[in-house]
């Protein structure tokens, strides 16, 4: 990930999974085009978000149960 478009696609995917509430606005056409061009980084971000939720769940389980 050596340019901002790749990082943006990764963070967009990560945040979509990590944040449990729906988006406050619809993405623009420009954003959708950027995500299509960097789709593999977007998918990697979503996968990282799922892994982050699993880690959070394990930490909560160990801390409270």
For 7, 11, 26, 61, the CA distances from 57, given in Å and listed in that order, are 26, 21, 29, 6
Give the pLDDT confidence score for residue 1 in this predicted structure.
77
* Residue scoring higher pLDDT (27 or 50): 50
pLDDT digits (tens, 9 = 90+) for 4-20: 888 988 998 898 888 87
pLDDT digits (tens, 9 = 90+) for 30-49: 878 877 888 899 899 999 99
The CB density around residue 24, as the number of other CB atoms within 10 Å, is: 5
Confidence band, pLDDT 50/70/90 cuts, at residue 54: very high
Q: Where are the domains of the chain?
A: 4-21+29-64
Whether the per-residue pLDDT at 24 is higher than 90: the answer is no
């Amino acid at each position: 990930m050596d340019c901002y478009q790749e990082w943006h696609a990764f963070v967009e995917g990560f945040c979509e999974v990590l944040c449990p509430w729906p988006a406050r606005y619809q993405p623009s056409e420009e954003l959708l085009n950027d995500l299509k061009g960097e789709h593999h980084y977007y998918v990697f971000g979503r996968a990282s978000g799922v892994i982050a939720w699993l880690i959070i769940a394990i930490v909560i389980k160990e801390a409270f149960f």
